[in-house]
Amino acid sequence: MKVSNFVQLQEAIDNNENIIEMSKSISAPNMINLKKGQKLIAKEKNIFLSFINGDGIGLSGQNEISDISIQTSPRNRAIFIDSSEEDLGDINLNNLTVTGVVQILTRGNNKKLNLNINKLDIVSADARFFCERPMKYGVNVYQGALTVYNFNPQKDSIINVKAEDISIGRKNAPVIGSGVFISGFNDESGFVIIEKLTTADIYSNGMIPLGQPNLITGGIFIVYGAYAKEIESYGCIYTYGTNDSTRRMGEGR
């Protein structure tokens, strides 16, 4: 179903349309929640979906978002998980330009997710204000502009990730918080398996006050419970602030 305004977009979601194609740019007064299995795509160039108030697109599972520019306030979530489904299936994010945080965080009943990202450019984001933060060795970590976080403590919960062509921030205009943040629940449960991660330029600034030793961020920060098989950075990774670095934390491989 093709949609050209917010009323049509919301009706398509409510009517369980499987494929929703944006034919024109849309300003949404509030967030939307895609139902399980729904796809939001655009075939025209320069399609823009902006959210005037609050967060952007909530995902229920087995969703796809492709070929759209999405804008929220930088400190809000442009894309996030809003589901109690145990098996979230495949979530595909393709060719997106985003203002706001892309937060793929599972919790509660969420046990299985296959996340596939291909070409994601996060222009601006501020990830400092989310309360879910891993802690080890006496320090906490800010989430990132791109966050993949298994916050389910059950041992059989897992996120499989393949993320390629990720770019974050701009030179002298970094995102705030971490750049790419990937974490499991801890060393013993709630795992993330990174099949492949490739990044272009990443610019981040934690905005952490000087002399605060218990808070850190990173350009690419892989925390405990996350196991990376392949990571390739073919662009610049540049951090600007105190306690910023490119690092991993914990005992994963």
**Contact assessment for residue 112 and residue 157, using Cβ atoms and an 8 Å cutoff:** yes
- In SS3 terms, 158-191 reads as EEEEEEEEEEECECCECEECEEEEEECCCCCCCE
pLDDT of residue 137: 62
pLDDT of residue 131: 83
Task: Note if the pTM is more than 0.85.
Answer: yes
**Contact assessment for residue 113 and residue 190, using Cβ atoms and an 8 Å cutoff:** no
Instruction: Please give the Cα distance from 189 to 185 (Å, whole number).
Output: 6
Radius of gyration of the chain from its Cα atoms, rounded to whole angstroms = 17
Strands 39-41 and 48-51: unpaired
Domain residues of the chain, as ranges? 2-248
Q: What is the largest CA-CA distance in the chain?
A: 54
Buried b or exposed e, range 65-84, using 16+ CB within 10 angstroms: bbbbbbbbbbbbbbbbbebe
CA-based nearest residue to 218, from 253, 170, 175: 175
pLDDT of residue 246: 58
| Token reading at 77 | 């979530």
Instruction: Please give the Cα distance from 61 to 64 (Å, whole number).
Output: 9
pLDDT by residue for the chain (253 residues), tens only, comes to: 999 999 999 999 999 999 999 999 999 999 999 999 999 999 888 999 999 999 999 999 999 999 999 999 999 999 999 999 999 999 999 999 999 999 999 998 999 999 999 999 999 999 999 988 776 666 778 899 999 999 999 989 999 999 999 999 999 999 999 999 999 998 888 999 999 999 999 999 988 888 777 777 889 999 889 999 999 999 999 988 777 775 444 433 3
